[in-house]
Amino acid sequence: MKSRSATPPLGPPIIDEPEAAHRLLLLGQLQAALKIRHVRSVLARNHRLVLRYNTSPCPPSGLTDPQLHIFAPNRTDITTTDGIAYLLASGSCYPAANPDEAAEAIARNNGTATASPDPRAHNIQP
C-alpha cells in the first residue's frame, strides 16, 4: 500500500498582509529613489491562487513576495526584499535601511552591480 506524501509547495511562500504591506513600502521607497535617477521600474504585488478541487490537502492561496521590476538600458532586473535587504535577481544585495544608496548603486551600475556582502551577515536592522 502506497503512503500519501504531503503536497509539495507550488511556488513562493505565502506571507501575511502586514508583512506584504511592509515589503511593498520598502520597495516603493527604492522605486522613488530610482525614479529620481531616471531609472524606470514597476512595482508588482503578487498573489498565488490555487484552484485544486481534487487534491487534499490543498496548498493555500494568498499574497507572495512583491517584486520591483527594474528596467535599465542594458538589462532588466527584479528586486525583492526580506525587510532587511534589497535582493536583486542578478545577485546584488543592498541594505533596505538606505534606499537612496541602493538606488545610486543600481543606477551607477546600470542594474548589474556587484554589491557589498549580504548586509544580513552583519546583523543590520531595518
- How many Cβ atoms from other residues are within 10 Å of residue 110's Cβ? 14
Instruction: Write out the chain's pLDDT in tens, 126 residues.
Output: 444 445 555 567 888 889 999 999 999 999 999 999 999 999 998 777 677 667 777 677 788 889 999 998 778 999 999 999 999 999 999 999 999 999 999 998 764 344 444 555 444 444
What is the enclosing helix (H) or strand (E) of 18?
Answer: helix 17-36
CA angle 13, 14, 20 (to 5 degrees): 115
Instruction: Give the pLDDT confidence score for residue 79 in this predicted structure.
Output: 96
Instruction: Give the pLDDT confidence score for residue 121 in this predicted structure.
Output: 46
User: Please, which residues have CB within 8 angstroms of residue 124's CB and are 6 or more apart in sequence?
Assistant: 84, 85, 95, 97
What is the enclosing helix (H) or strand (E) of 104?
Answer: helix 99-108
pTM: 0.73
